[in-house]
Amino acid sequence: MTKKIKIADLPEFDITEHLDSEQAIAEYITIVLEENDPAALADALGVAARARGMSEIAKQSGLTREALYKALRPDAHPRFDTISRVCAALGVKLVAQPVHS
């Protein structure tokens, strides 16, 4: 007989544990970009920033921690300048690719 596992007994998944390199962050952000949802991108950048350390990303991007949290909350629509600065601080860049290849 197999033992039933309750969902409540499963550990909570935390993506930040897996965003331990620039490559992992780049792949994660690329997947989110494919959703074509600005709010999802802001949230993903926030998740990546938390994985790296919000204070460190704020310092490297030239933003305050408070401004960074506000700009990268799940329902935010950050300016491109903010996205660009956070990406640079994370060690990744956004790349355009042709839609039809």
Digit-coded pLDDT (tens) for 33-51: 999 998 899 999 999 999 9
Statement: residue 72 has pLDDT above 80: yes
Q: pLDDT at position 13, please?
A: 85
pLDDT of residue 101: 66
Cβ neighbours for 48, distance < 8 A, ≥ 6 positions apart = 16, 19, 25, 28, 29, 90
At 22 the pLDDT is 95
pTM of the prediction?
0.83
**pLDDT tens-digit profile of 46-71?**
999 999 999 999 999 999 999 999 99
Q: Exposed, middle or buried: residue 79 (CB in 10 Å: 0-12, 13-18, 19+)? A: exposed
